[in-house]
Each structure stands twice: as structure tokens, then as C-alpha cells.
Amino acid sequence: MPDVSETAFEDESPKDLALRLSIAKAQNITKKYPSGLIIGSDQTLDCEGVILGKPRNEEKAIMQLTKMSGKTLTFYTGLCVINAETMSSEQDVIKYEVVFRKLTEAEIERYVSHEKPIDCAGSFKSEALGIALLERMTGDDPTALVGLPLISLSKMLRRMGLAIP
């Protein structure tokens, strides 16, 4: 099963990219699992019109956090649930905003050195020490920020006939 390329198309918005990737990832899994409910999710980060991906190294993480310091950022988490037998699906994009406080160079370097957030869009983990970098968070589904919007997912699964809880 080939991986799904996370490269954005030319002029693709962060919201559209998150949705497209969540659908592609779920469809990719249905090739291996032709029955059941398949969940695909992906997240993008919009920083002043620029999509920030996973930094992959500490130097880029420091650069990202420096760029994000003092700014409001928008995360888009795409979510897709496919019934692999019928190929019916539900899709949505959940928006979540975070406001970074003004960070010092020392704070950024300390954070990156301790948490090593190199595989996270935006170079921080809100579920860990990254929460200390923020002033506030705004959105309907706080689990979207971690990468899997559980409130939205629960709604989709109920609509697809799964009893939750």
C-alpha cells in the first residue's frame, strides 16, 4: 500500500489539503481492509497564509516557533470515515485556533530541546509542555488540535450506525 504524499497542490488551501489528505488516507486503508469503518485524519497549520508542516529537525522547529511567536494560528484537521463495504463516507474539516504568547529565544530553544517536537505540525505538542507556549485556544473540538477530533468523530460514527457510548 503506497503512502499518501502530503505535498500540497499549487494554490491548495490548508483547509482543502487537510480534507484531501484525510480522504486519501482513509481510501488507502480500504484497499487492505475491505470491510468495517475506516478512519482517516490529517492536520494542516496555517500561519499567515503559509502551510507549516512537520519540521523534521530541531533547527527548523526553532525557526517555526520563532515565526509563530505572538501570532494567532489556525489548525485544520480533516476527518473522513468510510464504510469500506459500501464506500459511503462522512467528511469534515475541524478548525481550531491557537494564540501563541510572545516567546523568547531561550524559551523556544529550551522547549525544543526538551520536547523534541520535530514530527508535529507547528513544532509543538499542546497535550504536553507546548501548552505553556500558548495564551489561549479556541474551537469547538479541542481534541482536533491533537490530531483526531473525537467529538466530531463520535458524531460521524453515530450517524453511520455505531452505538457510542
Catalytic residue among 3, 11, 16, 42: 42
- Vertex 88: Cα angle to 82 and 94 (nearest 5): 55
Catalytic, 3? Answer no
DSSP per-residue codes, 79-128: EEEEETTT--EEEEEEEEEEEEPPPPHHHHHHHHHHH--TTSTTS--TTT
Calculate helix-pair angle for 58-68, 105-115, nearest 10 degrees: 140
List the catalytic residues: 42
